[in-house]
Chain A
Amino acid sequence: DSGVTQTPKHLITATGQRVTLRCSPRSGDLSVYWYQQSLDQGLQFLIQYYNGEERAKGNILERFSAQQFPDLHSELNLSSLELGDSALYFCASQGASGANVLTFGAGSRLTVL
């Protein structure tokens, strides 16, 4: 167990729908990152939050958004879903010190039918 908890583990939904993925970082970690893993694009950085504030955006679509709450858990919202959004979505957390490593959760597998 990495200490990073992601729910749900699996999610099946239809095109056009909206889903929310949830992440609880390791205890004490202030940074949360979201990554997408797909066969087409590989592992890609989507967005980073640090202590409740957005810090950086990567290849995140406008239909996707995220937030980090005061208790440091984070949610990734995916809307107007398309078939191509089917992928594994990983959350990772990093400690307050920049030298700390990035620790990944087990991921949420999204299937859009």
Chain B
Amino acid sequence: QQQVKQSPQSLIVQKGGISIINCAYENTAFDYFPWYQQFPGKGPALLIAIRPDVSEKKEGRFTISFNKSAKQFSLHIMDSQPGDSATYFCAASRDRGSTLGRLYFGRGTQLTVWP
């Protein structure tokens, strides 16, 4: 059973455009929602994370929007650049101190930004 569902599987965006990736979760006990970025041959790297007490978090060109009632959250990449081309994973966990790292990951979105 996939605890976190992610879409789309792949996304092609022109340089300067907005990339949007969506995730949905089932377990209402989840209270930590990170996004990871992975380049080929590398491990996932934390991009940005949100907790359910806020509906939006922005860091530079990256924004997470969170809808607690719908159990959905999304990543928006503004002014997408070719260097953003990577695989993006959403994830969720229950943050009880040492449990934060027991993440349930979505299946990933392969983003390609055309120059």
Contacts and interface: CB of A to CB of B under 8 A. Distances in A.
Contact of B45 (A100, A104, A107): A104
Given A48-B102, A58-B102, A101-B34, A43 B44 contact: yes
Nearest to A6: B43
A102 B100 contact: yes
A45 B45 contact: no
A68 interface: no
Query: Which of B41, B98, B106, B107 counts the most chain A CB atoms within 10 A?
Result: B98
B44 A90 contact: yes
A64 interface: no
A107 B43 CA distance: 6
Interface string A1-33: 010100000000000000000000000000101
Interface stretch (B11-19, B66-74, B89-97): B89-97
B105 interface: yes
B99 A104 contact: no
A42 B105 contact: yes
Interface bin, chain B: 20 to 34
Nearest to B36: A104
Contacts, number: 62
A92 interface: yes
Given A42-B105, A45-B102, A2 B45 contact: yes
B61 interface: no
A99 to B, nearest CB: 8
A98 B95 contact: yes
Contacts of A4: 43
B49 interface: yes
Given A44-B105, A102-B101, 17 more contacts: A2-B45, A42-B105, A43-B108, A48-B101, A48-B102, A58-B102, A92-B101, A98-B95, A98-B96, A98-B100, A102-B100, A104-B43, A104-B45, A105-B43, A106-B41, A106-B42, A107-B43
